[in-house]
Structure 1
Amino acid sequence: MLKRRNSLATAAAGAALIAAAVAGCGTNAQPIQVNLAASEVLAQAAQKTAEVTSYTVDAVANVTHPQEGNGKVQGRMLYQSKPQLAVDLTLDTVDMGGRNLPGGVRAILQDDTVYVKVEALKELLGATKPWIKVPLAEVGNQGQVNQYLGQIQQFDLASVTKLVTASKDVKQAGTESVNGEDTTHYSGTFPVDAAVTQLPADKQEQARTNLAELKDVKFDVWVAGDSLPRKLTLNGSKEGATLDATLLFKNFNEPVNVEVPPADQVGELPKSTVN
Structure 2
Amino acid sequence: MRRFLVAAGVVAALAVAGCGTTTAQPLGDVKLSAAEAIQQTAQKAESIDSYSADIVLDFADPKGQKGSVQGSMLFQQKPTLASDVTLSQVSFGGQTVPGGLRVILADEVAYVKMDMLKTLLGTDKPWVKVDLKEVGGAEAAGQFLDQAQQIDLKTSVTLLTASKDVKAVGTESVNGVDTTHYSGSFPADAAVLLLPKETQERVKGQLASLKNVKFDAWIDADGLPRKIGLNGAESGASFSATLLFKSFNEQLQIAAPAADQVGELPKNMPVGG
Could you list the runs of 5+ residues in structure 1 that have no partner in the other structure?
Answer: 3-7, 11-16, 18-29
Q: Distance in 2 between matches of 1:106 and 1:95?
A: 14
| Partner residue, 1:249 | 245
Q: 1:51: which partner in 2?
A: 47
The answer on whether the counterparts of 1:140 and 1:146 sit within 8 Å (CA) in structure 2 is no
| Equivalent runs, 1:44-83 vs 2, <5 Å | 44-67=40-63, 69-83=65-79
Aligned partner of 2:183 in structure 1 is: 187
Which stretch of the first structure deviates more once superposed, 166-175 or 30-39? 30-39
Instruction: Determine helix, strand or coil for the equivalent of 2:129.
Output: strand
Relative to structure 1, the CA distance from residue 204 to residue 127 in structure 2 (aligned partners, 3 Å threshold; closer, same or farther) is: farther
One-letter identity of the residue aligned with 2:262? V
1:157 and 2:153 equivalent? Answer: yes
Alpha-carbon deviations, 1:62-107, whole Å to 9, x = none?
A: 0012226111111100122233333111001121233321111111
Residues 108-133 of structure 1, C-alpha deviations (whole Å, 9 max, x = no match): 11122111112222344555532111
**Contact 2:57–2:70 at 8 Å: present in 1 too?**
yes
Cα distance in 1 between the residues matched to 2:145 and 2:154 = 17
2:108 corresponds in structure 1 to 112
Q: Please give the secondary structure, in 1, of the residue aligned with 2:179.
A: strand
| Range 256-265 or range 132-141, more displaced | 132-141
Corresponding position of 1:13: none
Distance 1:84 1:50, change over 3 A: same
**1:256 is matched by which residue type in structure 2?**
L
Relative distance call for 1:245 and 1:137 in structure 2 (3 A) is: same
For the 8 Å contact 1:78–1:88, the answer to whether it is kept is yes
1:211 deviates by 3.1
Name the SS for the 2:99 alignment partner.
Answer: coil
TM-score scaled by structure 1?
A: 0.79
Instruction: Go from structure 1 to structure 2 and tell me whether the alpha carbon gap of 1:213 and 1:33 turns closer, same or farther (over 3 Å shift).
Output: farther
Matches within 5 A, 1:1-275: 31-32=27-28, 35-67=31-63, 69-125=65-121, 129-137=125-133, 152=148, 155-274=151-270
Contact residue 35 and residue 161 of structure 2 kept, 8 A: yes
Q: Quick one: distance in 1 between partners of 2:159 and 2:56?
A: 18
The 3-state SS of whatever aligns with 1:251 is strand
TM-aligned CA distance change 1:247 to 1:155, over 3 Å = farther
Q: Is the 8 A contact 2:9 2:151 kept in 1?
A: no
- State how far apart, in whole Å, the 1-side matches of 2:161 and 2:43 are: 11
> Is the 8 Å Cα contact of residues 75 and 92 (structure 1) preserved in structure 2?
yes
- 1:197 and 1:226 mapped to 2: Cα distance? 27
1:66/1:240 contact within 8 Å kept:
yes
> TM-score w.r.t. structure 2 length?
0.79
